[in-house]
Homo-oligomer: A and B are copies of this chain.
Amino acid sequence: MTHPTARPRNAAATRQAILTSAITAFTRHGYDGVGVRDIAADAGVTAMLVNRYFGSKEGLFTEVVDVSFAEPTMVPPGPADLAAETAGALVARTAPEADHLGPFELMLRSAANPRAAEIIRAGIEKHVGARFTAALNGPHARERAELGLALLAGTWLLRRLVGTSALRDADPGLLTAQVTRMLSVVVEPPA
């Protein structure tokens, strides 16, 4: 059968191909919305290799979450105008024409499953929450950081996944300004 453009036998490369395929699949359709056969086929292998290399679908998802949440999206290092920059990035990436995939989409599409939600919680607390918290000064930084994340996640949900009309059709500038003001409440250290 051997495919014309057959990949040479290479465990590391195959593992990586599965992981890459899984990242986009889980992000696009959520943990329960995709099967291991889809992921494997997209990587050009059979489904059994998922279990061989990642133990189980859940193990694969754990690694996907870890990788996806590790890359520093959404929180630029410059603390100069954190609220405005974050709001701008959010609005741009949730624009109807944008096709950005990332941790927010992954979280929103998989959080319905309790086991997936627990894996996501670990990922947030290890990566995103920590980064966001570190960018804030003053007391209650963790709570303020997670409230900021909540606003971003909720906006992403309504604007991209659900697609409510007001947020979908809103003027980007206006939207950025509003989100910036809401974010500032938790970004700027309390007096």
Contact = CB atoms under 8 A, between A and B. Distances in A.
A17 interface: no
Interface residues on A, range: 35 or more
A149 B143 contact: no
One complex includes copies of this chain to the number of 2
A95 interface: no
Interface in A97-120: 107-113, 117-118, 120
A157 B151 contact: no
Which of A29, A120, A185 has the most chain B CB atoms closer than 10 A to its own CB?
A185
Interface in A114-130: 117-118, 120-121, 124-125, 129
Q: Name which of A120, A145, A153, A186 has the most chain B CB atoms within 10 A of its CB.
A: A153
Contacts of A158: 124, 146, 149-150, 153
Contacts of A118: 163
Contacts of A10: none
Interface string A127-138: 001000000000
Given A147-B178, A155-B154, A182-B151, A166 B112 contact: no
Given A157-B157, A162-B107, A178 B143 contact: yes
B165 A125 contact: yes
B146 A167 contact: yes
Contact of A121 (B129, B140, B162, B174): B162
5 contacts: A112-B112, A129-B166, A150-B154, A151-B154, A154-B157
A170 interface: yes
